[in-house]
Amino acid sequence: MRDFHGRILLIGFGIVAQTLLKMLPRHLRVPLNRITVIDFADCTEALRPWTAKGVRYVRERVTAINLARLLSTYVEAGGIIVDLAWSIDCFDIMEWARKNGVLYVNTSLESWDSTGASTQRTTFEKSLYVRYNKVLAAMAAAPRHAPTAVLDHGANPGLISHFVKRGLLDIGQHILKKNRMTRGSARRLQRLMEDGEFAELARAVGVRVIHCSEWDRQLSRVPKRHEEFVGTWSIEGMWEEAISPSELGWGTHEKRLPPLAIVPQNGPGNQIILPQMGMNTLVRSWVPDQEIVGMLVTHGEAFTISHALTVRRRGRVVYRPTVHYAYMPSNDTLASLHEMRCRNYELQTNKRIITDEISEGDDRMGALLMGPKFQAWWTGSILSAAEARKKVPHSNATAVQVAAGMLAAVLWAIANPDRGIHLPEDLPHEEILRHAAPYLGRLVSQHSTWSPLQRHRVFFAENHEATPDTSDPWQFVNFRFQP
Ligand SMILES: NC(=O)c1ccc[n+]([C@@H]2O[C@H](COP(=O)([O-])OP(=O)(O)OC[C@H]3O[C@@H](n4cnc5c(N)ncnc54)[C@H](O)[C@@H]3O)[C@@H](O)[C@H]2O)c1
């Protein structure tokens, strides 16, 4: 247990913040009257047990205009802002925090307005790629000892980057045991593992593709009603990313760009963008022990992992894996998304995040790493709703996984207060997973023989886009689900 003497400003009191607030006092000794919650929604009921003990609640919307006034009223140098709202520009708030000596953590790169729904902007302008380029520029410009800001640190983005590192180390051990290799290669592999040179390690063990593969199997005993969007985390956040263009880290092994792919002409060029919605881009993937068809929804980890695992020689890119999300949400969310399609992508007015009404199921979220030397490896968390609720009453497995990532980021930022801007890849994975592990249920790191060609069938031979590339199972064309 650590003492914290600063003030804590929690912005947004949705399901993740409610879950996090229950975790924080178990890990941080801080008087509750040092905590303020800001949310424009009416959170009186949800906050009553906390306000009774001294937590302050401010019902207001943070906007570009009132940002500085609101923040300076409720937090000062030495404090921390935990940003769990979906409509605050992360660059503006991060800049304010830096200038005022305040730590800052968030779980996603948000902006003042919903970019996904915009029909005025180009696909490229709507991409996360543009926002990450801005993050890279801010990181390069930040002084070495600026107040710490940890960006993107929930479950995915967030913990997924640490699962990738753990997976790479476990694959390294597996290959050392199973594969015949020269003593020199074995020594090199061992050295890369010891030194935590993850990009070189990914290249050495031959990782071609990494999915953040997730199947949310939580079932509600209260079925989705008509005109209702049911989810296990932010409905607005889900809607925004579902209708945004698909984006993926593009691997050096890929032979053929997908039709209409947009290849950025500036920045690190590690991603491609598809001019179609993530919810309509389906990909084969796998979680223990089932093939899934997930949505290739735009997500920060596709950028940050593919960027961190790029290997250059004399300035030229020689290695990068393909990285993307493959999200199979809960049954009720799948039905909600389809109803939303019927509404021409306009979000339903009734929204419900399921917690106590969950009757069974778990959330399986992890990194699926694939390549010819080991086939496939899944490292991640399998957390049942029942266990999640035992750890944090009135929550669900998804929110507990996300809040566990945020908790780890808060603890790390407080212990390292002057380290500037950090993405998940920049944090020590063992320490982060140690903080989060008590909340993650079964932590799995296992080999798998799965490949996207295993059950692949071509139903319509005339459709050349559906023809698999059997010479390399890990080509993107083989993952795309287009019957
Ligand atoms: N990285 C991850 O793994 C991950 C996973 C789930 C959610 N998230 C993100 O975490 C955040 C919180 O998620 P959640 O499920 O708790 O969301 P939620 O929708 O349940 O809650 C968000 C709350 O923020 C409030 N809010 C939004 N904009 C605000 C503003 N400008 N001023 C004041 N309040 C504002 C809303 O009223 C709402 O109560 C979201 O941004 C979401 O996209 C990240």
Give me the mean pLDDT over the 272-285 stretch: 97
Which atom of ligand 1 is least distant from the CA of 19?
16
Contact 201, 188 (CB under 8 A): no
* Region class of 316: left (phi > 0), else alpha (psi between -120 and 50), else beta: beta
Count H helices, E strands: the chain?
Answer: 16, 24
Alpha carbon of 328 to ligand 1 centroid (Å): 20
Residue 161: the pLDDT is: 98
- Check pLDDT > 70 for residue 483: no
Considering the chain, what percentage of its residues have pLDDT values greater than 90?
93
**DSSP codes of every residue in 421-453:** EE-GGGS-HHHHHHHHGGGSSEEEEEEE---TT
Give me the mean pLDDT over the 71-79 stretch: 97
Residue 117: the pLDDT is: 78
- Check pLDDT > 90 for residue 71: yes
CA dist., res. 230 & res. 314, Å (int): 50
Residue 206: the pLDDT is: 97
End-to-end CA distance of the chain: 53
Q: How many CB atoms are located within 10 Å of the residue 120 CB?
A: 6
Give me the mean pLDDT over the 120-147 stretch: 92
Q: How many CB atoms are located within 10 Å of the residue 194 CB?
A: 10
- Beta strand 322-328 with 149-150: parallel, antiparallel or unpaired? unpaired
Residues with CB under 6 A from ligand 1: 11-17, 38-41, 61-62, 84-88, 107-108, 110, 154-158, 233-234, 236-237, 353, 402
- Check pLDDT > 80 for residue 297: yes
Report pLDDT digits (tens) over 249-277. Answer: 999 999 999 999 999 999 999 999 999 99
> Pick from 264, 450, 295: which is nearest to 375 by CA?
450
User: Phi/psi of residue 104, each to 5°?
Assistant: -140, 135
Pairwise pLDDT comparison (197 vs 116), residue with the higher score: 197
Report pLDDT digits (tens) over 440-455. Answer: 999 999 999 999 999 8
Alpha carbon of 166 to ligand 1 centroid (Å): 28
Give me the mean pLDDT over the 218-247 stretch: 97
| Range name among 144-153, 214-223, 236-245, 457-466 with the lowest pLDDT average | 457-466
Q: How many CB atoms are located within 10 Å of the residue 112 CB?
A: 13
Q: How far is CA 208 from CA 126, 174, 255, 302, in A?
A: 27, 17, 12, 14
Joined together, the tokens standing for residue 260 give 């209409």
Task: Give residue 143's pLDDT band: very low, low, confident or very high (50, 70, 90).
Answer: confident
Q: What does pTM read for this prediction?
A: 0.97
**How much is the mean pLDDT over the chain?**
96
Residue 118: the pLDDT is: 81
CA dist., res. 35 & res. 28, Å (int): 12
Report pLDDT digits (tens) over 327-344. Answer: 999 999 999 999 999 999
Does domain 159-398+439-479 sit in CATH 3.30.360.10?
no
Give me the mean pLDDT over the 40-69 stretch: 96
Report pLDDT digits (tens) over 77-103. Answer: 999 999 999 999 999 999 999 999 999
Residue located nearest, by CA, to atom 40 of ligand 1 = 86
Which atom of ligand 1 is least distant from the CA of 41?
37
Alpha carbon of 402 to ligand 1 centroid (Å): 11
- Domain boundaries, given as residue ranges, for the chain: 2-115, 159-398+439-479
CA dist., res. 261 & res. 211, Å (int): 19
Which atom of ligand 1 is least distant from the CA of 153?
1
Alpha carbon of 477 to ligand 1 centroid (Å): 34
- Check pLDDT > 90 for residue 70: yes
Residue located nearest, by CA, to atom 37 of ligand 1 = 41
Joined together, the tokens standing for residue 239 give 């809607």
Report pLDDT digits (tens) over 154-203. Answer: 999 999 999 999 999 999 999 999 877 899 999 999 999 999 999 999 99
Contact 150, 105 (CB under 8 A): yes
Joined together, the tokens standing for residue 374 give 């080991």
Instruction: Assign a CATH topology to domain 2-115.
Output: Rossmann fold (3.40.50)
- Check pLDDT > 90 for residue 463: no
Task: Give residue 310's pLDDT band: very low, low, confident or very high (50, 70, 90).
Answer: very high
Joined together, the tokens standing for residue 78 give 């030495």
